[in-house]
Amino acid sequence: MKTYLRFLKNALNYKGRLVIGVIGIIGVNIFNFASIGAIIPLVDKVINKKQIKLPDSFYEILPVSITSHVDVFVDKVNSIPPKNLFIDLAIFLFIGILLKSFFGYIMKVSMESVAQNIMRDFTTKMYSHIQELPVEYFDKMRTGELISRLTNDVNLVQASLSARFTDNIAQVTQIPGLIFALLLLNWKMALFAGIFLPLILGPIALIGKYLQKLSKKTQEKIADITSILQETIAGIRIVRAFNMEKYETERFYYQATKYCKLRIKAIVRSALVSPLTEIVGVTCLIVVASMLLMPVIEGNENTGNVVAFVGALLIMIKPLRCIGKINNIIRRSMAAIIRIYALLDTEPSIKEIPGAVEVEPVRNEIRFNKVYFHYDINEPPVIDNLSFSIKSGEMVAVVGPSGAGKTTLINLIPRFYEVTGGEITIDGEDIRDMTFESLRRQIGIVTQETFLFNDSVKNNIAYGRSDIPMEQIVEAAKAANAHDFVNDMPDGYDTIIGERGVRLSGGQRQRLAIARAILKNPNILIFDEATSALDTESEKLVQEAIDRLVENRTVFAIAHRLSTIQHADKILVLENGKLVQMGNHETLLNDESGLYRKLHDMQFSNMNNPRDVTLFNAIKNKFLKK
């Protein structure tokens, strides 16, 4: 419940609308009670033609200062002829209904407005927090799980703030007033009726606890289903290529069936609350009404008082049923809120320190000084005591067998991962002392698997920068050899390229990524074999674009084909996270017992026509000109 109350504190951000909503609730309750009060004169004075007489309990509970004023009012009502009183009551009830409807309207609109604004703020807060989490968090967390928390969990929580929920709250707030009215009408019978309350509230509490457990399992199952959807839609080509449509459908059906069973269990338990409440409530009503009927028959009690008491009990059945509904909604919401706060309370493991400095463009060198990195502190390091330096404007290539730590190494530079030992410095300044924005502003990344957004060509190149003139975007596209194919597209630079750029070829996607990097104008470039998956023609165009991009920049590159790195200033050879060799191509190739020579011989022994025109051959000329 503490977690739920923590969530509700967000409503205080909208105090004005909240106050209007509370006024609406109060107004609805006032005119509900007014309708109960009108029963007594209607039955006694208008129908039975008797004088209105308030019950003895009224005088036993309230002080004389109040009862004396009420007696004066009752005397005035008794002096009104029945016909005139009937007209007055009809007008009073009509106006009461109008005012009750008005207050009900402002209550629902105000509270729903509060709910929608809270959910907007809450989802934005969650999304913003996700943006701050380190890359390693996403390595462990399923994408479908995160999507489920941002969508399904949030929708479930929204039910606890909706107009329907608020309406139930308004109903429940009538209970104290109804209890007080019952005590005034007949306090002894009111206490007797209270015996039935545990029979109503007990099952509500038990079912609510069970529903919270079921809701947690249900939300987890939705996350499983969302993960399957996300994976299979993103990998639809693999599914089709392996004829796995039936397998994936069966896998989805299996998870959907589990979800269905959990939902049915929750519905069965939830559906019990309303009839149980109603049965107990009606039983109480019948017993009490029967006991009150005898004094009326004997003439010791006014009919109006009894009808008002029974009417109040009858009205109370709905609010009591609403307790069960509210409890069910809160219990289901609590399971979702706990999952949401588990995300929000996840502290980013990589943080910007207070007083972080703005880093200047690299002028001298980038240095790795005894760097260690563990994905899990209980396992061997992925990067093990790595030390080297690269001068501004140089190129360093990183090679090694699969799992050597190449990608991890370049991910440490923009602080996608944080070193667990040692330091990385730019011109002597530890990158951990720099602001994220200034560090990453000077880094451009081009990978083999380029990520593009389901947006226009223009917006993919300018990515998030609406202030960039169209002329600069076109110039960047021309420099990346992308302008011609963009012009041939149906809407030119306004063409939507599909999710992940699915409507483009691999070479076209790569050239747009390079255009994006050119427009960013970074000082440090990171390549992850940006041309290895391309055909010869596309590779040539991409290399020409890279040739323009790398000029006067510091370059880090992962190389899978060793033919691409012959002209790198430095080649780092990694094995099991350790730097086992370092030097240029000729030096490393002459070491016949070294790992680089073994990797080189292994690659070229199976290649009759190695592809000599490659990424770093395109880069070569730029460095040779220096």
Band of the pLDDT at 579, cuts 50, 70, 90?
A: very high
Predicted confidence (pLDDT) per residue in 603-623, tens digit? 776 554 444 444 445 454 544
* Nearest C-alpha neighbor of 617 from the set 540, 552, 555: 540
| Cα separation, 44 vs 48, whole angstroms | 5
What helix, strand, coil percent values describe the chain, rounded to 5? 65, 10, 25
Position 430 pLDDT exceeds 90: yes
Give me the mean pLDDT over the 77-100 stretch.
85
**Amino acid at position 483, single letter:** H
Q: Where are the domains of the chain?
A: 2-344
Predicted confidence (pLDDT) per residue in 512-531, tens digit? 888 888 888 888 988 877 65
Predicted confidence (pLDDT) per residue in 298-316, tens digit? 555 667 677 777 777 777 7
Structure confidence at residue 346 (pLDDT): 87
| DSSP H or E run through 386 | strand 383-391
**Poorest-confidence range of 8-12, 225-229, 255-259, 621-625?**
621-625
| Cα separation, 59 vs 64, whole angstroms | 7
In terms of pTM, does the model score above 0.85? no
**Largest Cα–Cα distance in the chain?**
120
| DSSP symbol at 499 | G
SS3 of residue 379 by DSSP: coil
Q: What is the C-alpha R_g of the chain?
A: 37
Predicted confidence (pLDDT) per residue in 247-280, tens digit? 888 888 888 888 888 888 877 877 776 677 777 7
| Cα separation, 379 vs 445, whole angstroms | 29
Give me the mean pLDDT over the 360-384 stretch.
89
What the block records as the tokens of 362 is: 């690299």
| Cα separation, 421 vs 438, whole angstroms | 23
Ramachandran region of residue 395, left (φ > 0), alpha (ψ -120 to 50) or beta? Answer: beta
Predicted confidence (pLDDT) per residue in 185-205, tens digit? 777 777 777 777 777 667 766
Task: Tell me the fold of 2-344.
Answer: ABC transporter transmembrane region fold (1.20.1560)
On the CB side of 88, how many CA atoms lie within 13 Å of its CA?
15
Residue with the bigger pLDDT between 319 and 390: it is 390
Q: Please report which residue ranges of 235-345 form alpha helices under DSSP H.
A: 236-241, 245-297, 303-344
Predicted confidence (pLDDT) per residue in 21-46, tens digit? 889 888 888 887 787 777 777 777 77
Q: What percent of the chain has pLDDT over 90?
A: 11
C-alpha triplet 184, 186, 189: angle, nearest 5°: 135
Position 94 pLDDT exceeds 80: yes
SS3 of residue 368 by DSSP: strand
